[in-house]
Amino acid sequence: MSSPPVRKFTSLSLLFHSPLGIRLFSHVDDPFLDDPLPREYVLYLRPTGPLATKLFEYWHQSRQVCGKNKAHNIFPHITLCQFFMCEDSNVGGLCEALQNAVSRWRETFPLPLPLELYTSSNFIGLFVEEQSAEIIKKFAADFASEATSKADVHVEPHKKQLHVTLAYHFQPSHQTVLEKLARSVDLKLGCDWVAAVYSRDIRFVNHETLRVMYPYTPQNDDELELVQGDYIFMSPSEQSNTSEGWIYGTSLATGCSGLLPENYIAKADECDTWVFHGSNSFLAVAASAGASLCDGAFRRRCQEEQGPGEALSLPTSVICQPLSMVSKSSRSCPQKRDLYVCRHGERMDVVFGKHWLSQCFDAKGNYIRSNLNMPPILPPRSGGYRDYEKDAPITVFGCAQARLVGEALLESKSVIDYVYCSPSLRCVQTAFNILKGLQQGNQKKVRVEPGLFEWTKWVSGNTLPAWMSTEELAAADLGTDTTYRPHLPASKLGISESYETYISRSCQVMRDILAECKVKGNSVLIVAHASSLEACTRQLQGLSARNSKDFVQVVRKIPYLGFCACEELEDAGIWQLVDPPILPLTHGPNHSFSWRDILYQD
C-alpha cells in the first residue's frame, strides 16, 4: 500500500461541508441517527443450491476475464417488485406478509423453474418461461396485497419479463466471451428459489460503493477516519472540489463524511451494504410437530445442498454478508466438514530486517536476543544457525498472535481434528501455539506437509530453505508428528515453479489431505502462508484459478494470522467460504525505541 497523496487545498468549501449520515441500526455516533428517513425495500427471488453455485462461478469468471459490468453490483436474482418505502416500525409486518404469501403459493410454485438463455449486444440473461412467470407474478401480487394489509405499504409488482441478469453494460468486445461462459451454466441443475426482502438507504442510491482496504488516521479536521472492512459511499457530484488522489465520502459504519485517500479504498458491489430482513424457501415446510419436508429426489437434493444466500426460516434483521461468504448461522443444513486455513504469525526477518542474524549471533554461533520481541531461545539446527536466514522463526508477538487465535477457537467451541502445516519454521511454531491456545498442545500433533509451502518462485537464490526435520522440531518441543508421511515430499518441490504448477500442487495436496481426513475427522486446520488462503481454497469451491497478477494482489492483502473458513456442501464435492468462527486479529506497528537517542540530553 502506498502512502496517501499530498493534499493540495484548492478550495475551502469542503471544510464546511455538512456531514451526511446513513441510518443503519448499528450506528452509535451517527449525527443523523434519528432522522425520520424510511428505507427502500425490494422483494427478490434468489437461487440456492447447485445452480446458485454455478451462477456465482459465472460471476467470478466473467469478472476475471472481462472486468466488472453493471450486473455484478447485485447478486443473482429475479426482481419481483419495484423498490418501495416502508417505515421501520412496519418491517415486522412486511416479513410476516412474505411468510404468509410464500405459505399460500408453496404448492403451486413452479419447481424446477424453467429458464432460457437470452443474449444481445448489451444484455445477457436467463428468462423465465412465460407460463411459470405468470404464476410467480401472481405470487408477487399476492405479497403486495398482504404487505399493504400487514405493513401499510404500497408495493408495485414487477410487470416486465422475469429474468436473472447475467451481464449488461459490457464492452462489445466482451460479448463473445460472456456468451460462452453463460452457455456453460447448466440450467437443469437442482435449485430452490428463496423469496427475500432487502433494504437500502435512499440517500445513497446513486452513490458508488467502496470498501476500505487499509486503516487511515485523519491528519486534518476535514478528513475521514478509515477502518478496514468499512464501506464508503461516494457521490460523483461531490468530487469537484477534491484534491488529486483524494475523494469525498460517507462512512457506512459511522455516518460521518470527509475526505479520504483514494488509494486506501477499492470498488465494492452496491448490495454489499444492503440490509437483509428475511426470507422464505419455496421448498421448506414450516417446522412444527409432525411437519415433514417435501418429498422427491429433486427437492431432497436441493434442501441438502442449500447454497449461497438465505436461511429457510424467517430470521431477524441482519446485515447482508458479502457475496462470496455464507454465514453458518443462516444455514439450516446439518453440520458439515470444516476446513480452516491460517497464515503464520509475525516473522523475525520482516520485523528486524534480513540482517537480524548478525545482530543476534556471535562468531561462535551463540544466540543473544537484542529486543524483547525476539524469542529468548532458538532451537538448534543441524545445518547451523545460517539456515535461519531462509527459514526465520516467528517473534514473541507472533507466538502471542497464534495463541490468541487458538483461544478464540476454544471460546467459539470450534473442534480441530487434524492440523497440517508448511515445513517453514514460522508455520510450525504458529500451528503449535494455536494448539496451545486451544489447550490441545499435548493431545494434537502437527503434521508437517511440504506440499503446503508457498510458491517457490518467491524463494531467493537457487535452493529451497533447509527446513528442520520433524525429529528436530519434535526435540524442540514443537509437537510435530514424527510418524506422518507427507503427500508431497520436499524432494518433489521444484525451484522457481510456474504459477500454474504452484496452484495445481496446492489443490492436489489439499484434496489428498481432505480425503485422508474424511472418515477420521470432521475438521482440518491448515497453517501455512498468505498465499495459502487463496491457493488452498479457491479450486475446492469449483472456481478456476485467478491469473497470477490478481493472485498477487489478493495475497498482499492477507495479514499475519489471516484466517478463512470453508464448509463442505454435503454430497456435492464442493466447498464454500463461510464466516470464520473467530474475529479477525488487527494490530498496529510499534517501532524500535531508543531512550538514549530520544531522551538523553548532554
Q: Which residues are catalytic?
A: 343-344, 529
Which residue type, as a one-letter code, is found at position 424? S
Q: How far apart are the first and last CA of the chain?
A: 40
Which cell numbers in the block locate residue 252?
457506512
Q: How far apart are CA 193 and CA 195, in angstroms?
A: 7
Instruction: Give yes or no for a contact between 379 and 411, defined as CB atoms under 8 angstroms apart.
Output: no
Q: How far apart are CA 494 and CA 161, in angstroms?
A: 55
List the one residue out of 271, 280, 282 whose CA is nearest residue 321. 271
Instruction: Give yes or no for a contact between 401 and 345, defined as CB atoms under 8 angstroms apart.
Output: yes
Q: How far apart are CA 150 and CA 69, in angstroms?
A: 37
Instruction: Give yes or no for a contact between 210 and 271, defined as CB atoms under 8 angstroms apart.
Output: no
Strand-pair partners of 78: 45, 164
| Burial class of residue 602, CB neighbours in 10 A (0-12, 13-18, 19+) | exposed
Question: Got the DSSP string for 58-116?
Answer: HHHHHHHHH---GGGGS-S-EE-B--EEE-GGGHHHHHHHHHHHHHHHTTTS-SSPPEE
Q: How far apart are CA 296 and CA 162, in angstroms?
A: 26
Q: Are strands 318-319 and 338-343 parallel, antiparallel or unpaired?
A: unpaired
Instruction: Give yes or no for a contact between 45 and 137, defined as CB atoms under 8 angstroms apart.
Output: no
